[in-house]
Amino acid sequence: MATLTIGDRAPAFALPDPAGETVTLDALLEGTKALVLFFYPKDETPGCTAEACSFRDRHEAFVEAGAKVVGISDDPPASHATFRERHHLPYLLLSDEGGRVRRAFGVRPTLGLLPGRETFVLDGRGVVRGRFRSQLRARAHAKEALDLVRALVAAPPGGP
């Protein structure tokens, strides 16, 4: 399993969205100052729902800062469609059935059983600028990511 560190270029990927359309990393980066990718274990579980809703509740602030937010789990597209609708999630969810992209990003399982919970902040070029891992502090990911996005956007050219 790869281990991404700050300063590494994120691995390219192509994953289906809830409508079954393929979305690539390059397409997500187009026209954005930052991209927040949060990997979560499973739709409709208490911790994952809390995390997804915390990103929802801060979504407008992410957009104002020039960032896109995308959630990724192993769930199939139909599950994501239901999850988005039920919780009014305004951002994209992608299906990584089989966990290939999760492994490419180096997101390790928790206790060897649960898919890991980890958030990456990428700059507009796809370079990793932040990485947060906490299975238990699910709500903290959105705040930490937003703080970093704001710092990146405020940095002078050639900054972090």
**Residue ranges per domain, the chain?**
14-154
pLDDT tens digits, 94-144 = 999 999 999 999 998 877 777 888 999 999 999 999 998 775 566 777 899
Nearest to 102, CA basis, from 36, 17, 29, 4: 4
Q: CA–CA separation, 32 vs 66, rounded Å?
A: 6
pLDDT value at 61 more than 80: yes
pTM: 0.92
* CATH code linked to domain 14-154: 3.40.30.10
Catalytic residue set? 48
Under the banding of pLDDT at 50, 70 and 90, the label for residue 67 is very high
Backbone angles phi, psi at 46, to 5 degrees: -55, -50
